[in-house]
Structure 1
Amino acid sequence: MASSRCNRSRWRITTALAGVFSIGLASCDLSPEYHPQKFLYPEGWEGKGMMGNAQPADGIVRSDWWTMFNDPILDGLEKRMLAVNPDLQAAAEAFTQARDVARETESRLYPQVTGAAHMSDNKGSLGRLYNNPATSRSLVYESNQAYSGAATWEPDFWNSIRNTTRMQKNLAQASAAQYALARLSLEAELASDYIALRGLDAQNAVYDDSIRYFRAAVEITELRQAGSIGAGLDVSRAETQLYSAQAGKSNLIARRNVMEHAIAVLLNTAPAGFHIAPVKDVKMHFGVVKINEGLPASLLERRPDIAIAERQMAASARAIGVSRAAFYPHITFSAEGGFEDGGFDLASISRAFWKIAVQAVEPAFTGGLRRAALQRSWSQYRSMVDNYRSVVLSAFQDVEDGLTQTRQFKIAQDQQQKAVDAALRTQSMTMALYTGGLSNYLDALVAQQDALQARLAEVEVQTAQVQSSVRLVRALGGGWSTADLPGIKQIDPFGPLQYNNLRTPKPVNGIDNHAKPLDNDLRGDRVSENVPQGLTGRP
């Protein structure tokens, strides 16, 4: 009896010491102190004054940046795309899965409790081994009933679980930034495709005008040949010009159809059920994005791809702490208890059983396993630092490229307009000289070709200028910022005691999981409900 009391006293002392020890070590974080990388920028940020130390002016780049094109049809397309695009919805689900992985990891901080119950009724066989029929009963029945509960808990002495949890939450934040990047990419792709489509419409109008002119030229050459004042060679040349222009128009129509199909897929619509009515001109004039002071620092907060790289870098720092924790003992507390009886007398305390245990495991020799894992963690962290710097440099390049293109394309557009005016004057004069018999048709033919190419080039430059504005907006982050990232506490998709509404998590910072009947409707019949007149469900 005295020995039993002594053992219980030792157990209480050991348990108390372990509790104090765990509380004292609970804040032992083995991860290196993490700080985002700081960069030194060139004075004036290069660009020869083109960019300066700058950021987008207030109101220039907003989350609905495409509305600056003042095109109601584009507004409607963007709205529908954000609602039903399958790639964007898949990105939202990827974020949900990242949140769940973080929740799975965090669950290890809590005690893991299980319950069990069993009941059996067993009959022994007369033919069993070592059975003596003379002394055994003809039938042997045995029964057993029991129920029990168990709990295990791993005190996170070395912050291994906490660092793993923080690492997964950092990766979940990176997944949220990945969603923002996918959204921005889709928005820009749709806007660029729509602008290209309108550019093709404008080129088609040029072809229509030129074909009418070339058809009239054929008639003039035929009349001059009939009057014996023109050669059949002139007729052949005029017909060649006409048919070449008609072939160019047919090729243009094919390109337009392909572009329209690409837009349909972005809108979750089968291409056969989608059509955008053509227009005569590219009427969107975005202009040059204005720049104010301070862009280098703020650009790091505006681009989703930079946020992805930074969150991955933070997660890699946490992984170092996890690798360091592997060098220390792995301690687990466990308890189990219940009742067991051969009959049904389970309420008696004499039928109770229990077990309480503490386990500590420290690998003595692993052949360099843990050291290799730690070294790999440091190497992965350094590679994430290098990747972050690379992404930042690419972001600066994108902005510089966008600024250069928007300004130079605007200059080229003005210059090309002058070339078109000159080409049209030359076309008119040479045709008048030919009609009056003062020039040969070859001069008129060359002038017609030059006029057509100049007008097509003008539309191409205008389209490229507007598309470069889209690329610049995308380079500047499209109105997104790191303030739109969910916080660490927002990553958990549900609480530890929540058992309802588990199918989809609560939306966080606009990242919503949804399924609508419209998602599976690929016919396009309802497209026109979401956009203004000019877009139809079927051609």
Structure 2
Amino acid sequence: MKRLPLRKLIATVLVTTTLAGCDMAPRYAPAKLAYPDQWEGQGVIRYGQPDDGAPRSDWWKSLGDPQLNALEERMLRSNPDLQAAAESFTQSRDVAAQVASHLYPQINGMAGGEKYKGSEHRLWRGSGATGPVYMSSEQYQAAATWEPDFWNAIRNRTLMAKQAAQQSAAEYAVARLSLTAELAWDYLALRGLDAQDAVYRDSIRYYELAVQITHMRLMGAIAAGLDVSRAEAQLASTQAQETDIHARRDVMEHAIAVLVNTTPASFHVASREVLGIQDVYPSPGLPSALLERRPDIAAAERAMAQANRSIGVSRAAFYPHVTFNAMTGFMDNGFDLASLYNAMYQFGAQAALPLFQGGLRRAELQRSWSQYRQSEDRYRSTVLSAFQEVEDNLTRMNRLRTETGQQEHAVNAALRTQKMTMELYTGGLTNYLDVVVAQQAALVARVGLVQVETRQRQAVVELIRALGGGWSSSELPSVKEIRPFKPLQYDGLHKAKPAGGIPVSSNSREDADLSGTVLTSGTTATTH
């Protein structure tokens, strides 16, 4: 056999290496955006510094409510929407594995056998014919096909699929952040309604006493029946408002039940008279860090990376498409299959180059570039929305803190007025209309204070959510972690190995239990 000259061998290796490394995708770098290096909040520049005030992944614990902590933990374990998002991530990993499989030779095996019998009296068979009536065929063979990825089309598709899986992981983080913030927001709303209910109950007791006083003054002929009517109207109106509070609380409780995977009929959170939620001061940090802490920004960036790879796939379509194939096996009319004279084989290669398609490939390439620019636009829009959400909630949180102090002064003044007006009325120095006005002002001020405090705590939750809730882009699974199983793994395929800190559903009985029996402890919630 003639040996290949050394220079030709080296040239062949160099050409093959060059072709194999020919990546058609443009060099990728995330869009560089210019933004201010400070947060404004109330309009006063405040330079953020990395410190211990940055939110953590379990940020709700900083609110200091054990019941909320237990509900959040329950929600993270069994919320169906969150588990569905985790399954979407697993499926995207499997799609990436499917695309990557085309980088390897596709090998198939086949074995079969047939036996045929023809009719002795079939048409055109003469009476003296001696040809065979029976015929058999047994065979087994193996076939292999392989497409060398000269232009990195398959590698770019594989990277696109893996980047799509990373995007799905970021979307899981978005779902987790949204659900934890929604649960905290709903829980704050429920506790705010509890505090309002306590105000109404206290006012009702006061109004019931006022009705008794007007009745006694009427019996003593020192007050008119109009005073009694006004006192009774004030009492009934306040009772109706308290009933409305109960209705709103029930609806909010139902929303919390669904979030923690429980039917509303079997779920109840015991009421209390105070809001009982600590006021925290999350640090916004530097604006540049926001790009790494928001999972929706990370998802938009991964979409942009996929669009960049798509350009490489469209470019590769302009070059020859090369495929190698081979087949070998044995075939006989009996079972002597392994003899060399019964062997068969074929091998070949083909290269296809589209010469004229009416502009099809150019249209696909132009669309890929347009999709990449569109992904940049969406990325920039996502970043702008993130900055807006942080600024909005910084402003809202700080303004509501100021409003809370102002409302406290209003409550103190209204309560003093209510007390003095009732003393004047009891002493016969004013009419009951002044009492009603003072009572209404005191009730409105007290309820307003509870509402402002609730909204201020909810603004804190929204700010933490806008800051990413302690998430970091470093938590995204790496490209190497995307593959959910080993190439030759055949067991344990019902559940992928975890990646990126995203849990794999266990299909436990607790997940299927919607009765709320797991929430019967005194520190969380009780069943009806």
Q: In which range does the TM-score fall when normalised by the shorter chain?
A: over 0.9
- Shift of the 339–243 alpha-carbon distance from structure 1 to 2, 3 Å rule, reads same
Q: Which amino acid aligns with 1:521?
A: D
SS in 1 for 2:107: strand
Structure 1 position 218 matched with structure 2 position 179: no
The 5 Å alignment of 1:166-181 reads 166-181=159-174
Query: Counterpart in 2 of 1:234?
Result: 227
Shift, 1:436, TM fit: 1.0
1:330 corresponds to which of 321, 326, 336: 321
Structure 1 position 443 matched with structure 2 position 434: yes
- Shift of the 407–471 alpha-carbon distance from structure 1 to 2, 3 Å rule, reads same
2:138 corresponds to which of 145, 151, 173: 145
Query: Counterpart in 2 of 1:115?
Result: 109
Q: Which amino acid aligns with 2:519?
A: V
Structure 1 stretches of 5 or more lacking a match?
none
SS in 2 for 1:275: coil
- Shift of the 493–50 alpha-carbon distance from structure 1 to 2, 3 Å rule, reads farther
Query: Counterpart in 1 of 2:487?
Result: 496
- Shift of the 273–127 alpha-carbon distance from structure 1 to 2, 3 Å rule, reads farther
Q: Deviations over 1:382-425 (max 9, x none)?
A: 00000000000111111111111111100000100100001111
The 5 Å alignment of 1:397-476 reads 397-476=388-467
Q: Which amino acid aligns with 2:523?
A: Q
Q: Deviations over 1:342-388 (max 9, x none)?
A: 12221210100011100111111111111111111000000000000
Structure 1 position 67 matched with structure 2 position 82: no
Shift, 1:458, TM fit: 0.4
Cα distance in 1 for partners of 2:63, 2:40 equals 30
The 5 Å alignment of 1:131-530 reads 131-136=125-130, 140-292=133-285, 295-514=286-505, 515-529=507-521
Q: Deviations over 1:4-60 (max 9, x none)?
A: x99xx99xxx99998875433111000010001111123645557645442563243
Query: Counterpart in 2 of 1:27?
Result: 21
Residue pair 2:393, 2:459 contacting (<8 A) in 1 also:
yes
Residue pair 1:288, 1:406 contacting (<8 A) in 2 also:
no
Give the stretch that moved more between structures: 21-30 or 147-156: 21-30
Q: Deviations over 1:155-190 (max 9, x none)?
A: 000000000000111111010000011001010000
SS in 1 for 2:331: strand
- Shift of the 453–133 alpha-carbon distance from structure 1 to 2, 3 Å rule, reads farther
Q: Which amino acid aligns with 1:451?
A: A
SS in 2 for 1:276: coil
- Shift of the 280–47 alpha-carbon distance from structure 1 to 2, 3 Å rule, reads closer
Q: TM (normalized to structure 1)? A: 0.94
Cα distance in 2 for partners of 1:112, 1:521 equals 45
Residue pair 2:103, 2:149 contacting (<8 A) in 1 also:
yes
Cα distance in 1 for partners of 2:88, 2:148 equals 31
Q: Which amino acid aligns with 1:533?
A: T
Cα distance in 1 for partners of 2:368, 2:107 equals 33
Cα distance in 2 for partners of 1:500, 1:352 equals 35
Give the stretch that moved more between structures: 492-501 or 167-176: 492-501
Structure 1 position 535 matched with structure 2 position 525: yes
Shift, 1:287, TM fit: 3.5
Residue pair 1:332, 1:358 contacting (<8 A) in 2 also:
yes
SS in 2 for 1:345: coil
Cα distance in 1 for partners of 2:18, 2:26 equals 20
Give the stretch that moved more between structures: 18-27 or 330-339: 18-27
Query: Counterpart in 2 of 1:92?
Result: 86
Structure 1 position 39 matched with structure 2 position 33: yes
Q: Which amino acid aligns with 2:268?
A: H
Q: Which amino acid aligns with 1:535?
A: A
Residue pair 1:56, 1:289 contacting (<8 A) in 2 also:
no
- Shift of the 363–133 alpha-carbon distance from structure 1 to 2, 3 Å rule, reads farther
Structure 2 stretches of 5 or more lacking a match?
none
Give the stretch that moved more between structures: 246-255 or 492-501: 492-501
Residue pair 1:304, 1:481 contacting (<8 A) in 2 also:
yes
SS in 1 for 2:487: coil
Shift, 1:283, TM fit: 1.6
Cα distance in 1 for partners of 2:402, 2:10 equals 79
Q: Deviations over 1:447-501 (max 9, x none)?
A: 1111111111000000000000000001111000001000010001112111121
Q: How many residues align?
A: 524
Residue identity over aligned pairs, in percent, reads: 56
- Shift of the 113–77 alpha-carbon distance from structure 1 to 2, 3 Å rule, reads same
Shift, 1:261, TM fit: 0.5
- Shift of the 439–472 alpha-carbon distance from structure 1 to 2, 3 Å rule, reads same
Cα distance in 2 for partners of 1:158, 1:462 equals 62
- Shift of the 24–129 alpha-carbon distance from structure 1 to 2, 3 Å rule, reads farther
Cα distance in 2 for partners of 1:372, 1:17 equals 36
Cα distance in 1 for partners of 2:486, 2:9 equals 30
Q: Deviations over 1:289-313 (max 9, x none)?
A: 3455xx1211100000000000000
Query: Aligned-residue CA RMSD in angstroms?
Result: 2.1
Q: TM (normalized to structure 2)? A: 0.95
